[in-house]
Amino acid sequence: MPRRVVITGLGVCAPNGIGLHDFTEGLKDGKSGIRFQPQLQDLGFGCQIAAEPLVPDNLANNYFTPLQLRGLNASGIVYGVIAGTDAWKDAGLKMDRSTGPDWDTGIIFGTGILGVDKFRESIHLVDDHKVRRLGSTTVLQTMASGISAYLGGILGCGNQVTTNSSACTTGTEGILMAYDRIQSGKAKRMLVGSCSDSGPYVWGGFDAMRILPRQYNERPTKGSRPMSATAAGFVPGSGAGALVLESLESAQQRNATIYAEVLGGSVNSGGQRGEGSMTAPNSEAVIRCIEEAVRNSGVEKTEIDLINGHLTATSKDTLELKNWSRALERSGTDFPYVNSFKGLVGHCLAAAGSIECVGAVLQFKENVIFGNVNCEDLNQEIEAHVSSSRIPRKTERYRPKIIAKASFGFGDVNACVIFSAFND
């Protein structure tokens, strides 16, 4: 029989809060992590606002050894190790370097691009004929799987330890990869998450595409406006989110806290055909992904009571909600409640799915729907599919039963996961 899969640990390093407590309070209170970035102004960016975690200088000492910190210049690795280690501890799992590998536990921790600042530093050294000064950790910090390798060694995981990369879909896709591995009996538990570097070398390409807002440099907290009539593009962000997925049997044997159950999901691609392209979704694929996720999870479309959307504050928000409406065959006041966290944390790129999944699952624990900010002027085209009453502007008391979370990424790739309140 396929194993039931539950979530027993959460960790986050987000622009509006590092650690579960601060992140939860940030989502509850509508605290924004989007700030003016003087460096972007100095470099001539059109969009001079962004969202990145404010990691205290000494915090990394709690997660890395002095040797690991020597020459460390990869923000994504720092974010990912903080989130991943916190999720591990939150699950009540031990960190003991004196024991052998834990053969039953693995890691799938994704990223889009890693170690950009380390790459830049290395290029200058090589061009200056100073290759011997690169140091022994340059490769570890610049290989995509560096994040899972760091975590694998810190935690001593002996099962599959790997990195996935699917643009903005990365974090959500990783959860489903880990779910499949546990359900099939190949692992008892998996640490899953994703991270993204900070800085102009990551965000510059998006600014050049002119898909970032340019009129909010003096009002940074108003810049990310999902579902708003005045949405002007996504605000770039960074950080990391992490979850411990575990078989129900293992969790119960450990008497672990269970946040939620993963019922299933779906991953697909639109093939960049029809209306799909490298940067735009194929609606047919999006609808199929949502329908398959619901079917694979064994629930009815009418049972989903909350959607945490991708909803990036672009012109595609209306299309996304139209696709949800078609896939679930629900509209108006019959549409599920819907929210997006990007108004508070920006679009954290490869880290978006994992950070948002942590936020989505926290709603079960807190018995709330976190509010949507900056959509007081709701796009009227959205109201053709979703009643305004289903888009709460502030956090509301509510006991969600089934939450659908989706991410859609460059390359016309899609992922949708279905979470449920845990019922023994």
* Residue 154 phi, psi dihedral angles, 5° rounding: -65, -40
Q: Provide the sign of the torsion angle of the four alpha carbons 299, 302, 303, 304, taken in this order.
A: positive
181-209 b/e (C-beta count within 10 Å ≥ 16 → b) = bbbeeebbbbbbbbbbbbbbebbeebbee
Q: What is the pLDDT of residue 17?
A: 98
The span from the CA of 170 to the CA of 192, in Å, is: 10
Taking alpha carbons only, the member of 340, 283, 281 closest to residue 306 is 340
264-337+352-420 belongs to CATH 3.90.1210.10: no
pLDDT at position 98 over 90: no
In this structure, the number of other CB atoms found within 10 A of the CB of residue 136 comes to: 9
The span from the CA of 289 to the CA of 125, in Å, is: 46
The span from the CA of 81 to the CA of 89, in Å, is: 12
- Cβ atoms 361, 419 nearer than 8 A: yes
Q: What is the pLDDT of residue 136?
A: 82
Q: What is the pLDDT of residue 424?
A: 80
- Cβ atoms 70, 54 nearer than 8 A: no
pLDDT at position 1 over 80: no
Mean pLDDT of the chain: 96
pLDDT at position 310 over 90: yes
Helices (H), 74-186: 75-90, 116-127, 138-142, 146-155, 170-183
- Cβ atoms 276, 312 nearer than 8 A: no
Query: Could you tell me what percent of the chain has a pLDDT over 70?
Result: 100
The structure tokens listed for 333 are 């006041």
Query: Could you tell me what percent of the chain has a pLDDT over 90?
Result: 93
The span from the CA of 223 to the CA of 315, in Å, is: 14
Banded pLDDT at 128 (limits 50, 70, 90)? very high
Q: Could you tell me where in the chain the CATH 3.40.47.10 domains are found? A: 5-254, 264-337+352-420
Amino acid at 33: G
Determine the average pLDDT of the residues in 302-316. 97
Q: What is the pLDDT of residue 137?
A: 86
374 CB contacts (<8 Å, ≥6 apart)?
222, 224, 225, 226, 228, 313, 343
5-254 belongs to CATH 3.40.47.10: yes
- DSSP one-letter code for 345: H
Q: What pLDDT, in 10s, does the model give residues 59-82?
A: 999 999 998 998 899 999 999 999
23 CB contacts (<8 Å, ≥6 apart)?
12, 14, 16, 17, 358, 359, 362
Amino acid at 133: R
Q: What is the pLDDT of residue 199?
A: 96
Angle (CA) 331-335-340 rounded to 5° is: 120
How far CA 208 is from CA of 202, 351, 387, in Å, comes to 11, 21, 35
Banded pLDDT at 19 (limits 50, 70, 90)? very high
- Cβ atoms 110, 170 nearer than 8 A: yes
- At 358 the three-state DSSP class reads helix
Determine the average pLDDT of the residues in 92-101. 89
Taking alpha carbons only, the member of 109, 105, 108, 133 closest to residue 121 is 133
Q: What is the pLDDT of residue 344?
A: 98
pLDDT at position 165 over 90: yes
In this structure, the number of other CB atoms found within 10 A of the CB of residue 307 comes to: 26
For the ranges 5-14, 128-137, 192-201, which has the lowest average pLDDT?
A: 128-137
The structure tokens listed for 423 are 């019922």
Burial (0-12, 13-18, 19+ Cβ within 10 Å), 42: exposed
